[in-house]
Structure formats: structure tokens, C-alpha cells
Amino acid sequence: MVSIEDIKQAATRISGRVHRTPVLTCAAIDRLAGASLFFKCENFQKVGAFKMRGATNAVLSLNNDEAARGVATHSSGNHAQALALAARMRGIPAFIVMPSSAPAVKRAAVEGYGAEIITCEPTLQAREETLNAVVERTGAVFVHPYDNEAIIAGQGTAAVELLEEVPDLDVVMTPVGGGGLLSGTALAVKALAAKARVIAAEPTGADDAARSLAAGHIIPSVDPDTVADGLLTSLGERNFPIIKENVSAIWTVGDPEIIAAMRLIWERMKIVIEPSAAVCPAAVLARPHEVSGLRIGIILSGGNVDLDRLPWLDHLEE
Amino acid sequence: MVSIEDIKQAATRISGRVHRTPVLTCAAIDRLAGASLFFKCENFQKVGAFKMRGATNAVLSLNNDEAARGVATHSSGNHAQALALAARMRGIPAFIVMPSSAPAVKRAAVEGYGAEIITCEPTLQAREETLNAVVERTGAVFVHPYDNEAIIAGQGTAAVELLEEVPDLDVVMTPVGGGGLLSGTALAVKALAAKARVIAAEPTGADDAARSLAAGHIIPSVDPDTVADGLLTSLGERNFPIIKENVSAIWTVGDPEIIAAMRLIWERMKIVIEPSAAVCPAAVLARPHEVSGLRIGIILSGGNVDLDRLPWLDHLEE
């Protein structure tokens, strides 16, 4: 079980290896929301996402024997790049299993950090078999993208920094996909700001976490459909109990509102965030009565966007 | 003649009324440039551009009698919004002459700050006649967008802040249109960091400042053609002598390089900058031999972009 001590140790361990990202505010968006919003900008993090925190903590937590064999994971997203860069920073090998359907630009980014890519068919079974074969062949340590204690502790460090800068928050929000960021954040907030509620936000088209919380057990994500492509996965076994115990609510919001919030933040704050990072502000803007007058910390999870395909311009290509 | 004392007084006068913007760096872009770049982020400034500094200084420099009559200007760009907001912050009227061709979104922004818009035909003559009539009718003080000493002093405060954070720069760069930002920056740098060179950057399709510097007199901008729509105007009478005396070089760069640099900064730094702000980084990236190993401060002038019309996507609409 991950404790606040694990998160504090993670913060010390990764300090200087990852960016301490700024907390930004925007008077115009506060007026629209009727609340005071404090944005923890993990879009400015290394590799452009909070994933660098967990990956760095996982890599630095290995003993020398483990580290010498390297790390392995399956991911075509931000975790793949984060683990590859964290491994390179420690000078150890990284093996990344990616589906043959992954975009060339994502493969190139991972290769750019010096990782070895192992391609598999784009099925869950092929992914797991390929990963197992890689681990067997190399002896590398498998670092799951979210269902992993070192990852959870690492992701929790963003909330630690946020609360150091803005201690008196009423609510702390993160988006939820597999639950790595949410579970780490929930543990940090409960320990460091017991009066604050932790609330997650999730796309309506991928609302398995909201349904899981309501049901009291994990309901897998089946055929999710949302622009927030970082939030497609099911909750992890290690993440769900933490979320169940410490998260007050999961707010869902539709893709049109997510896209509008993303565009609003680009336009007013002049920062680039990815659709998954816009889910929390979208959920807040959709709930004026619930959030009125509150001080809300929001972790903007990342900023990796295909600048040639902006969601509010997709009609141009049809 | 504007002095460093005027700029220092402007810094004191506008402190707390405008944002002290951050200075950001990016390891990936430094590697591409072969130089150390320090970006002063005026895209994060109020109204999204450095223009807020000069406008605020001009408005706050008025005595009470002048202020009571209000301020007037002609602009359809960032200066219009900046003067409107600065006037509202002092609680005085602002009269903005805008051509009938100005986009509705720009009119709405100025009106949103409580200014009165006076529409004129889109010709230089109509603009000046309309402005003169407004000044005669209202007694308002005309605040030129750049050919004005209070404006020059105000724009120079961005460089003062940059040099406070990064004193040991080899070069300080700004884009050049009318020359307000460049002349204020040049005066500040010469006084505060005498060893640093001041270099401007300008689009090839609007290179009247480079030609003026070469000729030794102002050559008007005729039919400029560039994506950097903040840099279309001719140099001002008060700006040119300052530039001639204090600016080492004006580097020109083409629109394709400007668009590529803009996209690179969005992608790597996760910040939104407008085309005019991308001219300096584009000029640096195009000159690897000249900039190799240098420490270069770059004022990113603004971040006001039509997010529905990104220059690297224009082919989609054709």
C-alpha cells in the first residue's frame, strides 16, 4: 500500500530530475467559472506530461542489479516516452512494446530517447505476450503505466508541489484514466490537506471510473469513445481501492465541452494542453452551482497534441 | 528623448498593473539553435502582448486634467486592446478609431474593455481625419501605438525585467514593426548591459526597418506581405534615431521559417505565441554560425492568434 511517506520520498528522489512546474491562474477563466482555479502545469513537465514523475521515481527506485537489466513497459503514449527518458537519464536500457498501429511520430519520440521498441499486433493479448517475452529475454523490470506503487507515489508529487504553493484549497482535481495520477493525488491531498475534497473528471464517452465508483468494483472500459485519448484505459487493481476510499466524486463531461475548454485555455492562458488535460476545467465550467466560490486546484496533465489535427478544426478535413 | 530614467520610472509606475512575465528556457530548442535562449514571455502579459506595458505607462503618465478627457488612438491590433484596458483600469474614457475592415472579434475585445469604437474607412487618410475629429470633439489625448515617448519607455520595461533575471546576456532580440518595443529595449539594454548587442528580427516580406537602417533614413513600409501581421507598419520618427544609434543589426527571415519556428515553440514549449513573436527565434535558428554558443534573450512579443486559422494548416482551407 502506498503511503504519504512513499510520496515524500519520491519527491526527494526525483527532485532536480523533473521540472518543478508552475501554478498558473487566469482571471478571465475564474470569472467564467465563478471560482478560483489554480492550474498545476504538468504540460510544461519533461516529455510534456506528469508521467515523467512516476517513471523517474520507478527507475530511480530500482537497486543496481535490477537497473542493470533495464525496464520494460507497454504503451504508445506519454508513459512510453517518460520511461524511455528516465531510463536514459540513469543510463540503463528501456524496452517499449508498442502496437503496430502506433503513429510514426510516437515511435520516433521513444527511439529518440534511446529506447528499444518491440512491435506487436494491436491486441491486448499480443501486447501482454510480447511484454512477457521481452521481460523473459532481457530480465528487465516491468513498469506498468499506472498499476504500480512507485508510479502512484511519483504521480502524487505534483499534488505535493501544488499544496506547497496553494495550501488552502477546497478541492483538488485530476482527470482519471487508469488512475495513477488520481490515486497518487488522492493520497497526497488526504495526508497534506485533509479538509480538501479530491474530485476526478472523466469524459462521458469513457466513464468507466465513474461507473466503477458507483458499483463499488472495477468495471472495465469497453469501446471508449472520446477526444481525450489519454483516458481510455480501465482502472488498475492497485489504484481502485485508493480512489474508492479517498475520492469524493467523479464528474463526467462531454467531448464538446472538453474541446471548448481546451480551446479556452489555449486562447486565454496562451498555453498548449492536450484534450485529456481539458477534462477537469470542462467539468468545472459545466457545474457553476457546485463550484461557486471554491478554491480549486487542477492538475493539467499534459500538453502533447498533434498540432496538425486540432479537435476544433476537424470539420475542415471532412 | 527617452532616457533610462524614464524607463525605470515607467517600471515603477506600471508595477502591479501589468504582469511580471516569466523567462522560460527550452533545452530542446537550445540544442537546435546551438545557443542558450531566454524567452521573456510577453504572450502571458495582460491582453496577450507587450503593448500593455506602454499603454499603461502612457495612461498613468497623464495628469488628472488630461486623464479626465480620456485617451484616443487608431489601431485594430494589440495596442487598441491595451489602451482600452489601461484606460478602464484608471477609470477614464478611451476612444479607438478602427477601420471598417477590422475583424468583429477585435472590435468585440475592445468594446469588452469599455472603450468607444469610432469606425472609419480603411485608408490612412480616413484614419487620421477620423482621429483628429475625435480628439477635437472629446479633448482626449492621442496615444500613438509606438511613436510616443511614454510608449517607448513602457515597452522598455520588459527588457529591464529580463536583465534582472538574466544579467549576462550576449544579445537581446525583439521583432521590429513600428519600433516601439525595439527602441525601448535598445535604450534599456545599452544602459543596463552595455556589453550586450541589441539585434532585431524582421520578416523578409516587411523588411522596411532593415532597409531603413542600411539607408540611414526611414523607408516607408509599402505593401508588406507576411504572416507576422503585427509587423506591417513603418518605423516611427521618435523610434528610428534610437534604433540607428543602439541596434547592431536587423536580421530578416522568411515566412516559412517564421511559421516553422512558431510551430516548434508551441510543440516544444507548450506555449501559444503569435507569428510576430516567432520572428526572432526563426532568425536565430536560421543563423547557426552567428549565434553559436551565445546567450540570447528574446522578447516573445505576444500570443494573440486566431486559433481557427493556424498558419501551418492554411492549406486545409484552400
Check which CATH number belongs to the domain holding A233 and give it. 3.40.50.1100
B170 shares its domain with B276: yes
Residue of B nearest to A43 (CA): B270
Query: Of all residues in chain B, what percent carry a pLDDT higher than 90?
Result: 94
A126 shares its domain with A272: no
Residues 238 to 297 of A: which have CB under 8 A from any B CB?
263, 266-267, 270-273
Average pLDDT over residues B54-70: 98
DSSP 8-state code for residue A147:
S
Place of cell 479556452: A264
3-state secondary structure of B80: helix
Render the burial of A251-270: b for 16+ CB within 10 Å, e for the rest: bbbbbebbbbbbbbbbbbbb
B159 shares its domain with B189: yes
Answer whether B55's CB lies under 8 Å from B151's CB: yes
> How much is the pLDDT for B315?
52
Residues of A in contact with B269 (CB under 8 A): 44
Q: Does the CB of B89 have a partner CB in chain A at under 8 Å?
A: no
Average pLDDT over residues B171-185: 98
Active site residue A190: no
Give the domain range for residue A86.
52-142
Distance between first and last Cα of chain A: 49
Amino acid (one-letter) located at B189: V
Q: Are residues B312 and A310, on separate chains, in Cβ contact within 8 Å?
A: no
- The string of pLDDT tens digits covering residues A211-262 is 999 999 999 999 999 999 999 999 999 999 999 999 999 999 999 999 999 9
- The string of pLDDT tens digits covering residues A267-294 is 999 999 999 999 999 999 999 999 999 9
> How much is the pLDDT for A256?
98
Domain boundary, last residue among B142, B163, B193:
B142
Answer whether A213's CB lies under 8 Å from A250's CB: yes
> How much is the pLDDT for B203?
98
Alpha-carbon torsion (A29, A34, A38, A39), positive or negative: negative
Helical residues (DSSP H) of chain A, grouped into ranges: 4-14, 27-33, 51-61, 64-69, 78-90, 104-112, 124-138, 149-155, 157-165, 180-192, 208-215, 239-246, 255-269, 279-285, 288-291
> How much is the pLDDT for A77?
87
Average pLDDT over residues B294-302: 98
Average pLDDT over residues A27-51: 97
DSSP secondary structure letters along B2-18 = --HHHHHHHHHHHBTTB
Mutation site, B26, B270, B271, B272, interface A, largest A CB count within 10 A: B270
pLDDT band with cut points at 50, 70 and 90 for residue B318: very low
> Does residue A316 surpass a pLDDT of 70?
no
B10 shares its domain with B78: no
Q: How many CB atoms lie within 10 A of CB A178?
A: 25
Q: CA of A299 to nearest chain B CA: how many angstroms apart?
A: 15
DSSP 8-state code for residue B234:
P
The DSSP element (H or E) to which B59 belongs, if any, is: helix B51-61
Asked which of A59-68, A79-88, B103-112, B240-249 is least confident by mean pLDDT, the reply is B103-112
Q: What is the ipTM of this complex?
A: 0.94
> Rounded to an integer, what distance in angstroms lies between the CA atom of residue B29 and that of residue A48?
14
- The string of pLDDT tens digits covering residues B122-150 is 998 999 999 999 999 999 999 999 999 99
Domain boundary, last residue among B142, B165, B185:
B142
- CA A125-A129-A130 angle, to 5 degrees, is 115
- Our count of domains for chain B comes to 2
> Rounded to an integer, what distance in angstroms lies between the CA atom of residue B18 and that of residue B15?
6
B15 shares its domain with B112: no
A160 shares its domain with A261: yes
Helical residues (DSSP H) of B193-238, grouped into ranges: 208-215
DSSP 8-state code for residue B140:
P
> Rounded to an integer, what distance in angstroms lies between the CA atom of residue A4 and that of residue A14?
15
A196 shares its domain with A303: yes
Q: Does the CB of A303 have a partner CB in chain B at under 8 Å?
A: yes
The DSSP element (H or E) to which B71 belongs, if any, is: strand B71-74
B132 shares its domain with B20: no
Domain boundary, last residue among B110, B142, B174:
B142
B190 shares its domain with B292: yes
> Does residue A11 surpass a pLDDT of 50?
yes
Count of A–B CB contacts within 8 Å? Answer: 47
Cell representation of residue B203? 520578416
